Amino acid sequence: MATGVVIGALAFTLIALLIPVQKFGGRNAAAATAPAAEDDGAGIQSTAFGPLTPQDRDFVRKVRLAGLWELPAGRQAMQRSTRPAIRTAGEHLVEGHTELDRRVMEVSQALGMEIPNQPSVLQQGWLDQMDRAQGPQYEQLFIQLLRRAHGKVFALVAQIRAQTRNSMVRALATDANSTVLDHITVLEASGLVDFDGLADAPSGTPSAPAPASSPYSRPTK
């Protein structure tokens, strides 16, 4: 009987240990790190290239939106900055998003999708911030806004590349992965990235306004 009590106690302890591991290390943890997709309400569509999900369509539109603000940001950096590293980053942005934009056009036409033709209100706000900034403040702002935005989209690209069943979307994600990684690399090569400033606030915590000494807001792309 004593042996049975000991075995029962050990089993109970094991169950108690496993429950929090399953709860916090399984689907809940994955959901916390996965970028949220916007559902356009059109459901899963059948195409010649495989099923097209709301997440797939959201990804294609976000790649298009990225180009709509990062292309002008890159051109501006090439014109305004005196630092070779900033100008190089601008060149990479222009070259990369020019090609990605061409690919997005092909994909959207093949899949019968509508895509945006202008930046979002938030993205336009980032461009306006850079328009107003001057000198070193402009260069710091450019690097921080673009580096944080690329960090956000990098996670989305990886998720889509791993999960999509649509061959056109998968090919676009493959191209986007190489482009985004290249842009992250050249932005970091400037030496101006504030890595502490890239972190998000914990879930459910309101974002604090940027201090007066900070020239940038935090993009989510």
**In one letter, which amino acid is 40?**
D
CA neighbours closer than 13 Å in the CB half-sphere of residue 83: 19
Which range among 65-69, 112-116, 202-206 shows the weakest confidence by mean pLDDT?
202-206
Residue 94 CA to residue 97 CA, distance in Å, equals 6
Q: Which two tokens stand for residue 6?
A: 């000991």
Say what the pLDDT of residue 198 is.
87
State the SS3 of the chain.
Answer: CHHHHHHHHHHHHHHHHHHHHHHHHCHHHHHHHCCCCCCCCCCCECCCCCCECHHHHHHHHHHHHHHHHHHHHHHHHHHHCCCHHHHHHHHHHHHHHHHHHHHHHHHHHHHCCCCCCCCCHHHHHHHHHHHHCCHHHHHHHHHHHHHHHHHHHHHHHHHHHHHCCCHHHHHHHHHHHHHHHHHHHHHHCCCCCCHHHHCCCCCCCCCCCCCCCCCCCCCCC
Cβ atoms of residues 93 and 149 within 8 Å: no
Q: What is the pLDDT of residues 82-138, one digit of tens each?
A: 999 999 999 999 999 999 999 999 999 999 999 999 999 999 999 999 999 999 999
Closest CA to 80 of 134, 124, 143: 134
Chain segment 9-65, per-residue pLDDT in tens = 444 444 444 433 333 233 333 333 445 677 878 899 999 999 999 999 999 999 999
Please report which confidence band the pLDDT of residue 216 belongs to, taking 50, 70 and 90 as the band edges: very low
Q: Residue 6: its pLDDT value, please?
A: 44
Q: Greater confidence, 99 or 204? A: 99
Of residues 104 and 3, more confidence is placed in 104
pLDDT score of 31:
35
- List, for residues 126-178, the tens digit of each pLDDT value: 999 999 999 999 999 999 999 999 999 999 999 999 999 999 999 999 999 99
pLDDT, residue 213, reads 40
Is-contact 21 27, C-beta < 8 A? no
How many angstroms separate the CA atoms of 125 and 71, rounded? 15
Is the CA virtual torsion 151, 125, 37, 75 positive or negative? negative
Please give the model's pTM, rounded to 2 decimal places: 0.74
How far apart CA 120 and CA 141 sit, in angstroms, is 19
Q: How far apart are CA 96 and CA 146, in angstroms?
A: 13
- In this prediction, residue 38 carries a pLDDT of 78
